[in-house]
Each structure stands twice: as C-alpha cells, then as structure tokens.
Amino acid sequence: MATLESTEKPVSRKNYNLLFSLTLVGLLVALCAILSIATNTFATGNNIANLLRQGSMIAVLSIGQTFVIITAGIDLSVGAVVGFATVIIASLLQAGFPVWLAIIATLLVGLAIGVFHGFGIVKMGLPPFIITLATLTSLRGIGLLMTNGATINITHQGLAQFARDSFLGIPNLFWMVVVVAAPAYLLLEHTKWGRYLFAVGSNPEAARLSGVNVSKLIYLAYCVSAVSAAFVGVLLSARLGVGNATQGDGWELQAIASSVIGGTSLFGAVGSVQGPLIGAFILATINNGANLLNVNSFWQRIITGLLIIAIVYFDQLRRRGK
Amino acid sequence: MTTETLASTVSAVPILDLRDVEKQYGPVRALKPLTLSFMPGEVHAIVGENGAGKSTLIKVLTGVVKKTSGTMFWRGTEVSLENPADAIAIGINAVHQEVVLCPHLTVAANIFLGDEVLKGGLLRKKEMITRAQAILNDIGFDIPADVQLGSLTIGQQQLVATARASVRGTKFLIFDEPTAYLTRQEADQLFKLIRRLKADGVTIVYISHRMEEVFELADRVSVLRDGNFVGTRNIDETNNAELVTLMINRSLEQIYHKEKVAFGSEVLSTRALTGTGFADIDLTVRQGEIVGLYGLIGAGRSEFALSLFGRNPSTSGEIKWHGKPIAIRDVRTAIDLGIALAPESRRDQGLNLNLPISLNINLPVYDTLQRGLTLNHRGEIDRAEKQIRDLAIKTPSRRSLASSLSGGNQQKIVIGKWLNHGAELFIFDEPTVGVDVGTKAEIYRLFGALLKRGAAIIVISSYLPEVYELADTLHVFRSGKQVGTHTYREKTEEEILALAIGV
C-alpha cells in the first residue's frame, strides 16, 4: 500500500464527520424548505413542536444504539425495552410510588437489561444479534404477562403535563434529547472511554493488547443503549399516559436506520452523536411531511427504505475516496 | 540457469513488455515511466524498499489499477488491462502475502472456487477432492484436500493459494512476499513448485525483502526506488551488497546496527514457565541486553511472549520481576509492571487499522491523559506529533487512518505506541516482517536507544540473520520447547538453524 500514503488526502475523521454532518443538515433544511413551500401547514409552530416531539424518542434511542454499533455490535432489543419500561413506570405509579422514584427504578431496570446483554456477550460468548433478539421477544412476553395483556393508565397529571409543556418555546421532550446527547457527546469524544469504544469496534485484540478492558467497554455500550431505551419508555409513558408492553414496536429498526443515516458504520469504529440525531429528525420530517401531503402511509415506509439505501450508498462512495 | 539458456530466453519474444508505463495518483507519481521486459520461463525478482512502487507495479500488472500512460505488450500484442478479470483471462495471476481464500471451505473447494466441477448443476464434491489431491500430490505439497482450509497453518494455506493460482492456465504468476509466514520446509515446497512452473515455461515475478531467496530463485532482478526503475541485473552478475546499495543508497554494514551496552541488573526471569503452546522455559533478561528467541513459526515463541504479557497466563512455573516472584494474570498487570509488547501481527493484534494514527499511538496511555471528566486533548495531540516526528512516520497528518500507511510506517506505530511509556522490558515479536530495509535499520537503531536508556529487550524472529546479529543471548525454540541457549556468535548460523529444525 505504498502508494496510498502519499496519494490519499489526509483522511481526517473529524473533518470528514463535520462535512458529512453538514451534508445531512443541508438535507434536513432542504426537506423543511420544500415542505414549507408545498404545504401551508408545515411551517406552523404547532406542527414543528409536534415534529420535535415525534422525533425526540427515536433520536434518544439512536444515540444509545450508536454506542453499541461503534463497538461493532447491534442492539435489537431497544423497542421492546421501551414498551417494557412503560409497563414498569405505569405499574409503579399505579402502586403509588412517587414519580421520581418510579423514574429511577425504570432506568435501573434498563441498566439491568444492559448488564444482562453484556453478560450474554462477554461471559456466554453469544453474538450481540442473538442475545438482543432473545431479549426483544422475551421482554415483550414478560411485559404482557405482568399486565395480562392489558393497558395500564397513568393518572399522574404532572407527567402528562411535562410531555405537553415547552421551555423557551421548545418542547420539553426535545430538551430531553439534549439532556441525553450532551453527556453522550462528552463521553464519546472527550473521554478515554470514548476512544476505547472506537478501539474495541475497530480491533478488539489490538485494544486488549494495549491494556484496554474490552469486557468493561462492551458492558458500557449495552448499558448506555438499554438505559437510553428505558428513558424513552419514561418519555413515551408521559406523552401517551399509558403503560403497554406492545409499544415501541419496530423502533429498534428506526433507531438503527437513524444511526446508519447519520454515518455510523455497522462494521464498527465509525460514528458520532450528532449524526444519528440528524438522521432521526430527517426520518421524522419525512413522515411528518408525508402526513401533511396526504401521502399514503405505506409509501412512507418505502421512501424511508430508499432513503437509507441512497444515503448509505453515497456515504460509502465518499469514504472510498473516489 | 546457465549463460546459454539465459541468452536464448533473452533473445526470445518477451511474454510481457512494459514501455514507459506510468501510474499517477492525482499529482503523485507512484510509478515513474518504467520500461521492463519479462521473458517466458524466467524468475524475475523485484526488490525495493516499501514505498518504492512495487505494490503499484503489481496492481498495474494484475489490472487492479489502470496505468496512467505507457503501453503494455502481451506476447507482442498491445493489451489494456481494465480490471482483474482481464489480467486473469490472459493468464496473469498473483499470490498475495495474506491469504484471500475461504477458511470454512475444504482445500479442494478452494482450489476449484469459481471453477467447480458440476454434473447436472450439482457439485461433484468427491471428484473435486480426488482431483485436488492429485494436483497437490503432483506439485509435491503434503496437504490433504478434504480438510477445512482454516484447520491448516497459515503457511499451508499460502501453499494452497499458490496451488490454486498455478493450475489455472497461468502464464505469468506474481508472488508478493510469499514466504513471510512460511516455515523453512514450507518455503522449500514453494520453491520446488516455482522451479517446476518455470520449467513449464511460466514467468514468475518474485517480490521479496529476503535477499537470500532472491539469490536462490531468480534469474534476473530489477530494483525500484522511490517509484523509479533503477536497473535490472542478471543474478550471477550481482551480489547482495550491490542490490542493497541500489535499493537504499547506503551500505549494508549500517543495517544491523548493534549498540554495545553494559548489562545492568536482572529485569525479568522465568523458571520452568509452562502454558498453552510452550513448556519449561528458563530465561533471564537484563538491562541493556537483547535476548533473542529464534525458531520456526509455531515453535511457541509468540505464545510464550503473550503469556509474559498476561494475554494467555501461564499455567505453571515462575516469573520474577526484578528478582521478586510475580503473577501476571492480565495485560493491564503486565503494562503496569513496565512490560511492552509489539505483537506478531500488525493487522490482527497491533493496530486499529480504520482509526487515526493519533488514537493508535495513544491507546496504551489514555489512562494518563484523562483529566477528571474529560480528556487532555493537547497532551493527546502532542504525544502523537512527537512520535510521528521522532520515528519519522511518513503521513500527511496524525488524523490519517493507520490503514493508509505503508507496512514499515505501520510497524513504527506498533512500536511507537509503547515508547515514552516508562516500560522497562520491550518484547518485539517479528518486528521487521514486511518492513523495508531503511525502516529495518531505523528500528534496530531504536533498539540501541532503548538499551542505552536501561531497557531490556526480547526480540522474537523467524528470520535468523536478524536475531543472530542482534541478540546478546539467543534461545532456540522447537515445538514449544527451549532446545538451546547460546551467547552472541557462540554457534554458526547453520548450527542454530539445524537446532531449530531438529535435524
């Protein structure tokens, strides 16, 4: 590969990420501009607030998912964790626990699920795809058993109010994205653990021989993902006022799609926090716009699929350089 | 080859004729106008440092990249190689350093991959195994055709790749560092095959850093330097020293640079150390000393090193660190003690290839760069820049991916990440495989600098001249056992080799 060293432009990951993020932002802005012209309902305060609320859930999920994908893993369970978390928090509130305690307990359940994934991968040697697929189906089952298939209503008014309210004109739910994204960004870009996550995703043996505790990092990634998903469960229960184990169906795929659209490589070691966020809101805007334009919702799914293919294809072309 | 036959081949029509072939990547001229002829049935060696343009030449010849200008004639007719299929179609094939076959399929299935024996659309597995076995037996490879490829050693897999390339009507076969992972016996089998192909009229292009192989096999040798064609010599009209001078423009004595340093106190010793792949190893390494471990691949040297480094802890025996017994249960313990390991395989163990150089260099030291909640980015940048400067790593930026570097520069990262880390014992496992002569010399000088700082060094190598010239104490390994311990030049190279092979 003697020739490459002198011929390739400095493949700067930072600059590249920035460029890619800007392209994505450009796409998002273009989408918004087109929808503002094509409809008179898109550029209204109500609709934008609604779009931000819709996109927030998947955005938080995609951040957690990205941590896992950077280690060259996958977390298929996040949709099920969301549904399960709504059941947990709804049951706890119904049993009379204070809101703060119910939220903490729900997040701890998420943490336990993450630890279990880490255990399955590190100690039992199961592929991430398998262990998280197993939790996907089991958690739905456990949630349905706990509720006997019924929906638990949440009567707590404060929680519902929180989901409806805004702060500085921006919906609270969107602020929750910031609450998750800011520390996630710090962790990934500004700590040694962030560097280790990339190293583990790139070559676990080289990381191990450099003194990195690879097992610990795997636990970390799956815990971030599962706790993020449990947090989304809390947000969803606040927004809809119910706990039901079947909620969040297929959200794992939307989270993975957002992450991949945002430039994360399924082979590991490539990814950021900002990319998946933009990816999630691109998907939300498309769905929102399609609704406003009265496009058949079946078409939305097809458009999303084509978009994933197009964006990832162009991303790979550019990564290859020419 | 005798002079007469050589003269007759030279007068014949070249099988492949390059005229002013040039390759540019953007503004960079990786291969400057090159005029070179390959004769039918000759073994033509190509030598040069990493970055000299050998890889580019192979890529042009095999259709992986298109030449920028110039013309190529195949048996007198002009050809244009647009893609690898074009090259294969006219009979040009290559065997690469790293095996690119399917480890989960049988040897026979790999040999017939893409060219399966069918009957009514179904595979004729038995027939393929029989035929593959006949081929292997015929060319003298002692390899069963019905086992999974992955169950063979890397060297045997390499031989299978060679067998595969040699049975497909190949007229022109390129070997790129084929012996890097071969044992001596395997290399002999390979050489036998090369001579046989040559006798059948196949042209062999042989690329290697190992001069003795070039002299053993080649009829002619061409030298490249910095993308320039320097010259072609008949093998019996040149010698090692001349080739090395052509390649690097400096003399051979400067390469095996050995620093004379007075030994200090004992750093590490083992007594009857036993683990997976090795047993009863006794050795001592002192400050200022290079201890060499020589043996064929699979002799247990790397396994021993990995156990000292805590990767595969030993099962019995004793390790002493500065005279005190110690248990090294994991890599972290070894690093904290002050042991550094530059592992055998850059690709599998040494590097995070798709990550920046900076991250690779800093990976072992991020613990010291973490300041409370965040990372000391200034420190991270400074360390990376310092290593790039000190080791003269050729790269446009510390942010470039490790995969974008040449082999020699990659090896500098593998080594550089452990420098300035306070390590007292450095273990270098095959530090110069696939590394050019210039970088080799730099690495050996670095050893000297480490010794002067009071470090102790263990060097593991399958390349005898390296450990023979460098090591103060040389331990010979065979089949996981320590079969000899000798001081510098106490035995001849032949005696050491015989010990390692067990004849």
A8 touches chain B (CB under 8 A): yes
Look at chain A and count its residues.
322
B48 and B109 in a single domain? The answer is yes
pLDDT of res. B1:
42
pLDDT of res. B28:
66
Q: Which domain holds residue B11?
A: 3-249
B158 and B296 in a single domain? The answer is no
Nearest to A200 by CA among A16, A69, A65: A69
- Find residues 199-218 of chain A whose CB sits inside 8 Å of chain B: 199, 202-203, 205-213
Nearest to B176 by CA among B266, B68, B94: B94
B26 and B133 in a single domain? The answer is yes
pLDDT of res. B342:
93
* Tokens at B396, concatenated: 């446009």
pLDDT above 80: residue A211:
yes
B148 and B236 in a single domain? The answer is yes
Cross-chain residue pair A186–B350, CB shorter than 8 Å = no
A316 touches chain B (CB under 8 A): no
| Count of CB pairs separated by less than 8 Å, A with B | 136
Identify the three-state secondary structure at position A79: helix
Q: Which of B196, B216, B249 is the last residue of a domain?
A: B249
pLDDT above 70: residue A17:
no
Residue of B nearest to A4 (CA): B404
CA of A207, closest CA in chain B: separation in Å?
A: 7
pLDDT above 70: residue A5:
no
One-letter identity of residue B238:
T
Residues A238, A65: contact at Cβ < 8 Å?
no
B242 and B302 in a single domain? The answer is no
Residues B458, B370: contact at Cβ < 8 Å?
no
Burial of A189: CB neighbours in 10 Å, binned 0-12, 13-18, 19+ = middle
pLDDT of res. B426:
95
Per-residue pLDDT band at A320 (split at 50, 70, 90): low
- In a domain, residue B387? The reply is no
Q: Where are the domains of chain A?
A: 43-319
Per-residue pLDDT band at A15 (split at 50, 70, 90): low
A320 touches chain B (CB under 8 A): no
Distance CA A252, CA A271 (A): 17
Position with higher pLDDT, A85 vs A267:
A85
pLDDT of res. A13:
53
B142 and B288 in a single domain? The answer is no
Read off the CATH number of the domain in which B470 is found: 3.40.50.300
Cross-chain residue pair A2–B403, CB shorter than 8 Å = no
Class in CATH terms, A43-319: mainly alpha
B22 and B120 in a single domain? The answer is yes
Cross-chain residue pair A202–B354, CB shorter than 8 Å = yes
pLDDT of res. A2:
37
Nearest to B220 by CA among B55, B1, B436: B1
B91 and B232 in a single domain? The answer is yes
Cross-chain residue pair A5–B350, CB shorter than 8 Å = no
B139 and B283 in a single domain? The answer is no
Q: Please count the structural domains in chain B.
A: 2
pLDDT of res. A43:
81
Q: What is the ipTM of this complex?
A: 0.83
Q: Which among B55, B366, B396 has the least Cβ separation from residue A2?
A: B55
- In a domain, residue B58? The reply is yes
- In a domain, residue B181? The reply is yes
pLDDT of res. A207:
93
Q: Which among A195, A209, A211 has the least Cβ separation from residue B359?
A: A195
Cross-chain residue pair A195–B25, CB shorter than 8 Å = no
- In a domain, residue B353? The reply is no
B73 and B219 in a single domain? The answer is yes
Q: DSSP readout, B224-247?
A: EETTEEEEEEEGGG--HHHHHHHH
> Tens of pLDDT along A66-79?
999 999 999 999 99
Beta-strand ranges (E) seen in A107-237 are 152-153, 166-167, 170-171
Pairing of strands B290-294, B28-38: unpaired
Q: DSSP readout, B153-206?
A: -HHHHHHHHHHHHHTS--SEEEEESTTTT--HHHHHHHHHHHHHHHHTT-EEEE
- Find residues 367-386 of chain B whose CB sits inside 8 Å of chain A: 367, 369-370, 373-375, 377
pLDDT of res. B114:
76
Q: What is the mean pLDDT of chain A?
A: 88
* Residues in chain B with pLDDT values less than 70: 1-11, 26-28, 50-51, 98-99, 248-255, 297, 502-503
pLDDT above 90: residue A292:
no
pLDDT above 80: residue A266:
yes
B227 and B290 in a single domain? The answer is no
B232 and B303 in a single domain? The answer is no
Q: Which among B55, B349, B377 has the least Cβ separation from residue A205?
A: B349
> Tens of pLDDT along A104-145?
999 999 999 999 999 999 999 999 999 999 999 999 999 999
- In a domain, residue B411? The reply is no
